[in-house]
Structures are given as structure tokens and as C-alpha cells.
């Protein structure tokens, strides 16, 4: 398989995914968010997941004590709408056609999918948010960049409402995404962000992710959060040890 194709598969799996049937055998070693197949056991479920237990750059983290730096702006060009919504058994994921872009300094990425966690996986100064959206991008050469957006209850968001109103309720189901689902509407106005080197937050926990967590939250209706939570009451990996990693802030 060409290196770029491998990265696209990882991007499709990334951070909360269907993982499985994509050819890496993850489904043969089922994982979950609790009990005997929960996060504390991921590293022992499959030899391929060993880094979940032994890694030194694992995600998510508590974003605290960040260092202000001159980071490049996030140049987001998500011009195309997602084409499908899938309930993959771990989250609700929206798959995107080629064409959506992210540029960070000299690095270019393509948007492959976005999905949601309840509650948030990242904390900020010890505070956990109601939800978190992850926008997964793959580079043409190597690595992933994930834009994380923290979500809080408040003013209704029409796009999030459309997603939870049309998301499939059964694991394995896929439905078309409405043409009015614009991922840009799930971003805050300001693009200030935190940056650190980390990993996928689901098995195989590969340490190949440039994390870009936006500093400002977005609001959605509390009732819509409750609708998502009815399907996924808890699908967030616990915070991991930072191991002396620096977290940079664009200010």
C-alpha cells in the first residue's frame, strides 16, 4: 500500500473510529471505554496496541502551563461538505470527500473526517468540557494534524442540531450527510490554539499526531448534547501523562 494511502486509512481510523474493518484487524480485538476492554486494558488487548500502555507522547492531555509562542496561523479551507454520517460503535463520524484543506506553516493536510467525544478528551487547566469535536487531517507525506474544538452547552448551533437529528442510532449504520452540514459552522470565530505532539486517542494509540486544540469553545444546545449522550454516554479516553512535553499557545 502506498504511504499516502496508509495515512488515509489511519486518518479514517483516527481518534475514535471504526478502526476495525479497515484492514488493521482492530475489530478482532474489541476495545471499549469501560470494563475489561477499557482504556486501562487497551495496551494488552493486541500487540499492535502496546504503545497505548508504554508510549511517552500519548493523548489527550490536560492543557495547563502552556508557553506563548509565535505559531503559524491555521489556514482552514473546508470548502466541501461531508458525504456520509456513520455510527461506528465508538462515535458519530462524518466522512469528507477530498478537497478540504489545512495549512500550518509549510505543512499541508487534507481533511478526511470529523467526529465527537462526550465528554471532552482534552482538559484546559483541569476543566473538562461537555464535548469535543476532532477534525482529522492527513499529510501527503507523513503524519496527521487534528484540530480539536471544545464544546459547551449554550446557544443552539444549527449544524450540530442537524447532525444529531440525522445521525444513525444503530452501530454500523451509515446515512447520507445533509448538504447543509458545513463543518466551518462548528468552529469559533477566533483561531487562537494550543499545539503539542501527541497520539491517536484510540487504539492503536500511534504517536503521529500534531494536535491543534482551539482556545475558544463553541456552544451548542444542551438538548442536542443530551441527544448525542443518549447514544454515547462516555466515549473519552482519560488524560495521559505529559512526560515533560511542552504545550505551545498562539496567544
Q: Which residues are annotated as catalytic?
A: 90
Eight-state DSSP code of residue 177: P
- Mapping DSSP to helix (H, G, I), strand (E, B) and coil, where does residue 54 land? helix
- Mapping DSSP to helix (H, G, I), strand (E, B) and coil, where does residue 132 land? strand
- Mapping DSSP to helix (H, G, I), strand (E, B) and coil, where does residue 140 land? coil
Residues in the chain: 251
Measure Cα distances from 201 to 14, 55, 108, 222 in Å: 8, 12, 22, 25
**What would the grid cell of residue 29 be?**
480485538
C-alpha 101, offset from chain centre: 16
Partners of 73 in the beta sheet? none
d(CA 163, CA 165): 5
Amino acid at each position: 500500500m502506498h504511504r499516502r494511502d496508509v495515512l488515509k486509512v489511519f486518518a479514517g481510523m483516527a481518534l475514535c473510529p471504526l478502526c476495525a474493518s479497515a484492514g488493521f484487524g482492530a475489530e478482532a480485538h474489541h476495545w471499549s471505554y469501560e470494563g475489561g476492554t477499557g482504556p486501562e486494558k487497551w495496551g494488552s488487548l493486541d500487540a499492535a496496541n502496546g504503545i497505548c500502555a508504554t508510549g511517552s507522547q500519548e493523548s489527550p492531555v490536560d492543557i495547563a502551563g502552556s508557553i506563548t509562542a509565535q505559531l503559524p496561523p491555521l489556514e482552514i479551507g473546508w470548502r466541501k461538505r461531508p458525504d456520509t454520517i456513520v455510527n461506528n460503535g465508538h462515535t458519530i463520524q462524518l466522512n469528507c470527500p477530498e478537497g478540504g484543506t489545512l495549512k500550518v506553516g509549510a505543512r499541508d493536510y487534507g481533511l478526511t473526517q470529523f467526529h465527537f467525544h462526550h465528554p471532552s478528551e482534552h482538559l484546559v487547566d483541569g476543566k473538562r468540557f461537555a464535548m469535543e469535536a476532532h477534525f482529522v487531517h492527513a499529510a501527503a507525506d507523513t503524519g496527521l494534524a487534528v484540530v480539536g474544538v471544545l464544546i459547551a452547552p449554550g446557544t443552539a448551533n444549527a449544524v450540530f442540531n442537524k447532525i444529531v437529528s440525522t445521525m444513525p442510532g444503530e452501530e454500523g449504520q451509515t446515512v447520507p450527510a445533509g448538504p447543509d452540514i458545513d463543518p466551518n459552522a462548528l468552529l469559533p470565530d477566533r483561531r487562537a490554539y494550543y499545539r503539542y505532539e501527541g497520539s491517536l486517542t484510540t487504539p492503536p494509540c500511534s504517536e503521529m499526531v500534531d494536535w491543534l486544540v482551539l482556545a475558544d469553545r463553541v456552544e451548542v444546545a444542551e438538548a442536542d448534547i443530551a441527544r448525542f449522550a443518549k447514544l454515547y454516554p462516555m466515549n473519552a479516553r482519560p488524560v495521559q501523562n505529559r512526560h515533560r512535553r511542552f504545550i505551545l499557545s498562539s496567544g
